[in-house]
Amino acid sequence: MEKAIGEILVVSFFGQSHVFQLTELCKKLSSFNFKTTFIVSSDISSTVSSSLIHHPYVNVAAVDAPLPPPPRPEIKFDPQPLMLHFKQMRQGVESILTSKNIAKNELKIVCAIVDSMMLTNLGDVFTKFQVPIVTFFPFSAAALAMEYAAWKADVEYIKPGEVRFLSNLPDEMAMDYDDIIRRYYNSSEEPLKGTKKKSFPTQPGDEPPWVEAIKDTIAILVNTYDELEHPFLEYIAKQTRLPVWGIGLLPEKFWTLTATKSLIHDKDIRAINNSNYSEDEILNWLETKTPNSVIYITFGSDVVPTLQEHEEISKALEESSTQNFIWVISKNQDYYPKGLEAKVGNRGLVIHGWAPQLLILSHPSTGGGMTHCGWNSIMEAIGQGVPLLAWPIRGDQFYNAKSIVCHLKIGHMVSSIRENIVFKKVKKEEIIQGIKRLMEDEQVYNRVKELSDKFRNGLPPVGSTAADLLDFKEFIMQPK
CA-atom Rg of the chain in angstroms? 22
| Of 268-272, 415-419, 432-436, minimum mean pLDDT range | 268-272
CA distance 127 to 388: 42
Top pLDDT among 197 and 419 is at 419
User: 3-class SS at 39?
Assistant: strand
Q: Which of 53-67, 181-195, 390-404 has the highest mean pLDDT?
A: 390-404
Identify which has the larger pLDDT, 186 or 180.
180
Helices (H), 279-415: 279-287, 307-319, 340-344, 357-362, 375-383, 396-402
Tell me which of 327 and 49 has the higher pLDDT.
Answer: 327
Residue 188 has pLDDT above 50, yes or no: no
Percent of the chain at pLDDT > 90 equals 60
Closest CA to 423 of 160, 198, 234: 160
Coil, helix or strand at residue 157: helix
> How does residue 189 score in pLDDT terms, banded at 50, 70 and 90?
very low
Q: H or E segment at 63?
A: strand 58-63
**Greater confidence, 30 or 69?**
30
If you average pLDDT over residues 203-228, what whole number do you get?
A: 91
Q: Give the pLDDT confidence score for residue 74 in this predicted structure.
A: 59
Between residues 181 and 412, which one has the greater pLDDT?
Answer: 412
Residue 241 pLDDT class (50, 70, 90 cuts) = very high
Model pLDDT, residue 355: 93
Residue type, 187: S
pLDDT score, position 69:
81
Model pTM above 0.75: yes
Mean pLDDT across 461-476 = 71
Q: For the chain, what is the mean pLDDT?
A: 87
Cα-flanking dihedrals φ and ψ of residue 59, to 5°? -120, 125
Query: Is residue 232 predicted with pLDDT exceeding 50?
Result: yes
Q: Is the per-residue pLDDT at 361 higher than 80?
A: yes
Residues 144 and 137 sit within 8 Å (Cβ to Cβ): yes
463: pLDDT strictly greater than 80? no
pLDDT at residue 125, as a whole number: 95
